[in-house]
Amino acid sequence: MPFTVVIPARYGSTRLPGKPLADIAGKPMIQHVCERAGESRADRVVVATDDDRIRAVCEGFGAEVVMTSANHASGTDRLEEVARVLGFDGEARIVNVQGDEPLIPPALINQVADNLDLNPDAQIATLCEPIGDAATVMDPNVVKVVFDHRGIAQYFSRAPIPWAREAWADSDRRLQLPEGITYYRHIGLYGYRVSLLGEFVSWSPAPMELAESLEQLRALYNGRRIHVDQACLTPAAGVDTESDLARVRDQLAR
């Protein structure tokens, strides 16, 4: 089935203001993201922004732009507005690619879109990758996910899940991963059925969503299914800081 990539791009950023327009190898970052999305099988790539500077730059290199409200509480709210403005029906699929991922592999975009087709009982599809060290499992900035034998998410958390009760009874042993358990880091790339977006914006934030500051928990709280698959490629980290920007510039220069 066809799908659309929507790339939310905000000018405001606490750590790196204006980062969608940051120059990387002679192009604004948002152009690199659009080009990677265009290499996927998406039928359409749309930038969603609330800033005229981003709109002007994107239209300058030929991107389709939808202007959205500056008052959205979440990125999902912004996606829902785009779907509504463009008149998508409930069975349409949207893949949300963040505007600060200039190195995202197009294969990952295809993977989440395909997984919506392959799992018709899931309303959202996303990705994960194995974690290889205990320090990353313990890091609250790394979101972990557990899922069942079908790949349906059971929970997302900043805490180390599952908790290895016996292996980690001694705090010194928490520096090592227990044997026989694979821990997974959530990769924040999502595919949505448009029908889910309309439901999502009607729900109040869930208690566990507020506690963890993880928006996807709202869908689980309301009984919707999220399919989780191991990423077919290792994604490069996005750009959040000046050092991230320097790293990506160096990678593209080489």
Q: Taking a C-beta distance cutoff of 8 angstroms, is the pair 80, 46 a contact?
A: no
**What is the rounded end-to-end Cα distance, in angstroms, of the chain?**
36
pLDDT at residue 12 in the model: 73
Taking phi first (over 0 means left), then psi (-120 to 50 degrees means alpha), and beta for anything else, what does residue 135 get? alpha
Q: For the chain, which ranges sit under pLDDT 70?
A: 14
Position 14 scores a pLDDT of: 67
Q: Are residues 82 and 128 in the same domain?
A: no
What backbone torsions phi and psi does residue 191 show, to the nearest 5 degrees? -110, 135
- Token pair of 69 as six digits: 């409200």
58/137 same-domain check: no
Contact call for residues 219 and 196 (beta carbons, < 8 A):
yes
Q: State the CATH number of the domain containing residue 225.
A: 3.90.550.10
- 128 with 229, same domain: the answer is yes
In-domain check, residue 192: no
- Are residues 212 and 145 both part of a single domain? yes
Instruction: Looking at the structure, tell me whether residues 162 and 75 fall in a common domain.
Output: no
Domain count within the chain: 2
Residue whose C-alpha is closest to residue 153's, from 203, 222, 224, 201: 224
Report if residue 194 sits inside a domain. Answer: no
pLDDT at 16: 75
3-state SS string for 45-73: EEEEECCHHHHHHHHHCCCEEEECCCCCC
Shared-domain flag, residues 96 and 142: no
In which residue are the tokens 């790196």 written?
16
Judgement on whether residues 130 and 209 belong to the same structural domain of the protein: yes
Which residues form the domain of 131?
Answer: 123-187+203-235
pLDDT of res. 80 = 95
137: CB partners within 8 A, 6+ apart: 131, 144, 160, 177, 183
What Cα–Cα distance (Å) separates residue 206 from each residue in 48, 81, 203, 227?
26, 21, 8, 19
